[in-house]
Amino acid sequence: MTVKKVIVAGGGVLGSQISLMCAYAGIDVTILIRKEDSEEQTRTKLARYAAMMLQDLDQAELFLGVPEEQAVYPHGMIRDWKDLNRDKLAQMIGDTRQRCHADLRIVNELSADLFQDADFVVEAVTENPEIKTDFYESIRNLLPAKTIVVSNSSTLLPSRFAQHTGRPERFCALHFANTIWRCNTAEIMGHSGTDPEVYRKVVEFAEQLNMIPLQLHKEQPGYILNSVLVPWLAAGEALWVNGVADPETVDLTWKVGLGCPFGPFEHIDVIGLDTVYAINKMKPDAQVEGSTIYRLNQLLKEKIDRGETGVNAGIGFYDYRNTRKEK
Ligand SMILES: NC(=O)c1ccc[n+]([C@@H]2O[C@H](COP(=O)([O-])OP(=O)(O)OC[C@H]3O[C@@H](n4cnc5c(N)ncnc54)[C@H](O)[C@@H]3O)[C@@H](O)[C@H]2O)c1
């Protein structure tokens, strides 16, 4: 099945990026925002991400004929370097300029016309179960029978919404990562009622978008990536909080021992200490005085209060203000 028409609900961070990736793949895409949302804000995001995509594509010229470097190039932009040359690259850049820009179609009203012939609705609205439920209820009677609905939710399982879509068998999660054209993972997770044929079509859709489809066989909070990432971060944090080793030594061990490019604390700096702190505060032991997570949050809070929230602030566990040096 070749997907031709997609409606992306939500013009935020992920909605903008998914829409641009649809446009990049030559798919007719419309962004659905709420009446109270600002079209201008979405257009600003589209312009910013489109510029980043084009910048990456411009740099591809440096990678032509250097296969060992191509492995680290944003895979969502170019998957196949085999027959790529300067002329073809120039053509791709021209096509991208035409397709990916701030003027993508944005609508703020629901109607059956909007969804007519839509192959997919990608739900990328606010990560709030009530907001998502209301959204599914609002579109369920407007969709053509053929439309497949997918949720980009990072934390909420599809079974929670399946009945609200009115088409549980044509619904599952399709989870993209931030900076979709670079980190081109697409985790695909059905619920027990997802039709296997629909699941297969979602895998094909992900491939059409230049994503690497990562198939989950059952529901799992955190999908694959966060199910591995979160315990990895927690193990590193525990070594620090319990006085076993300092962050630099934990990172160094991981990098030298396994040949990985970064360790857990360098990654926390990228995520942002405030985000990690907010997530940690929701963990069951967070209020238990003396627990590892309680003490970790105290240490994180001290750093956050000093403005050391990570790469974006210029300082976190490491100092990025000049060339990076260990603190
Ligand atoms: N930000 C990330 O790094 C990331 C990564 C992967 C997945 N996600 C998931 O993507 C989804 C969106 O996240 P985001 O970061 O883009 O959030 P965001 O806050 O940037 O954007 C969400 C947008 O949805 C809009 N919205 C709310 N209700 C709506 C409705 N009924 N119709 C249309 N638009 C509506 C909001 O006004 C907002 O503009 C969430 O489910 C999140 O878990 C986010």
Q: What is the pLDDT of residues 99-122, one digit of tens each?
A: 999 999 999 999 999 999 999 999
Domain ranges, ordered by start, for the chain: 5-216, 225-326
pLDDT in tens, 197-206: 999 999 999 9
Averaged pLDDT, 32-39: 96
- Using the atom order of ligand 1, give the atom closest to the CA of residue 37: 37
H/E run at residue 172? strand 171-176
Task: Tell me the pLDDT band of 17, cut-offs 50, 70 and 90.
Answer: very high
Averaged pLDDT, 128-141: 97
Identify whether the C-beta of residue 86 lies closer than 8 Å to the C-beta of residue 64.
yes
pLDDT of 168 reads 98
pLDDT at 327 over 80: no
Matching CATH number, 5-216, of 3.40.50.150, 3.90.550.10, 3.40.50.720, 3.30.930.10: 3.40.50.720
- Using the atom order of ligand 1, give the atom closest to the CA of residue 153: 41
Q: Whose CA is nearest to atom 30 of ligand 1?
A: 34
The C-alpha angle with vertex 285 and arms to 281 and 286, in degrees rounded to 5, equals: 25
Average pLDDT value for the chain: 94
Averaged pLDDT, 48-71: 89
Task: Tell me the pLDDT band of 324, cut-offs 50, 70 and 90.
Answer: low
Residue given tokens 């929701």 in the structure block: 282
pLDDT in tens, 304-314: 999 999 988 99
pLDDT of 282 reads 83
What residues pair up with 199 in beta bridges, in sequence order?
Answer: none
Pocket lining: 10 vs ligand 1, CB cutoff 6 Å: yes
pLDDT of 246 reads 98
pTM of the model: 0.88
Averaged pLDDT, 74-90: 89
Pocket lining: 270 vs ligand 1, CB cutoff 6 Å: no
pLDDT of 325 reads 47
pLDDT of 297 reads 96
In degrees to the nearest 10, what's the CA dihedral of 72, 76, 79, 85? -90
Pocket lining: 14 vs ligand 1, CB cutoff 6 Å: yes
> In the chain, pLDDT over 90 holds for what percent of residues?
84
pLDDT of 323 reads 63
Averaged pLDDT, 56-67: 89
Pocket lining: 124 vs ligand 1, CB cutoff 6 Å: yes
Averaged pLDDT, 144-166: 97
The C-alpha angle with vertex 270 and arms to 294 and 236, in degrees rounded to 5, equals: 45
pLDDT in tens, 171-190: 999 999 989 999 999 999 99
> What CATH architecture applies to the domain 225-326?
Orthogonal Bundle (1.10)
From 292, 300, 239, select the one nearest 269 (Cα to Cα). Answer: 300
Distance from the alpha carbon of residue 303 to the mean position of ligand 1, in angstroms = 28
Distance CA 253, CA 251 (A): 5
Pocket lining: 104 vs ligand 1, CB cutoff 6 Å: no
pLDDT of 326 reads 47
pLDDT at 28 over 70: yes
Helix count (H) and strand count (E) of the chain?
12, 10
pLDDT in tens, 207-243: 999 999 999 999 999 999 999 999 999 999 999 999 9
The two domains 5-216 and 225-326 share their CATH topology (first three levels equal):
no
3-state secondary structure at position 7: strand
Other beta carbons within 10 angstroms of residue 119's beta carbon come to 19
Distance CA 233, CA 212 (A): 24
